[in-house]
């Protein structure tokens, strides 16, 4: 199964890259932006046919390596 996960910075963690992207967008004329937060996206092809088990495996990966839970949250967004 292919499992997609996104990792985002927690709300109160400063995201300097997001800020610079926001400023650049502003300079390009995109004036209606309140905030930009940058994150990471993973597509993991797991040798497991049960979607629930596949999700568990990727959640375990997020807990142990892909995300740093001090500053980041993760979310499984798709399993196919």
Interface residue list for other proteins (CB under 8 A): 13-14, 16-17, 20, 65-66, 68, 70-71
DSSP for 33-61?
------EEEEEEE-S---HHHHHHHHHHH
Long-range contact pairs involving 64-68 (C-beta distance under 8 Å, separation at least 24): 66/5, 66/7, 66/40, 66/42, 67/7
What's the full length of the chain, in residues?
Answer: 80
**Complex with other proteins: residue 34 or 68, whichever CB lies closer:** 68
**Complex with other proteins: residue 32 or 35, whichever CB lies closer:** 35
**Complex with other proteins: residue 13 or 77, whichever CB lies closer:** 13
């Amino acid at each position: 199964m292919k499992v997609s996960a996104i990792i985002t910075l927690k709300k109160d963690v400063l995201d300097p890259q997001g800020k610079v992207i926001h400023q650049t967008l502003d300079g390009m004329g995109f004036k209606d932006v309140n905030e930009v937060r940058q994150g990471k996206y993973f597509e993991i092809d797991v040798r497991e046919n049960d979607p629930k088990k596949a999700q568990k495996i990727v959640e375990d990966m997020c807990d142990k390596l892909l995300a740093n839970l001090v500053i980041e949250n993760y979310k499984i967004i798709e399993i196919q």
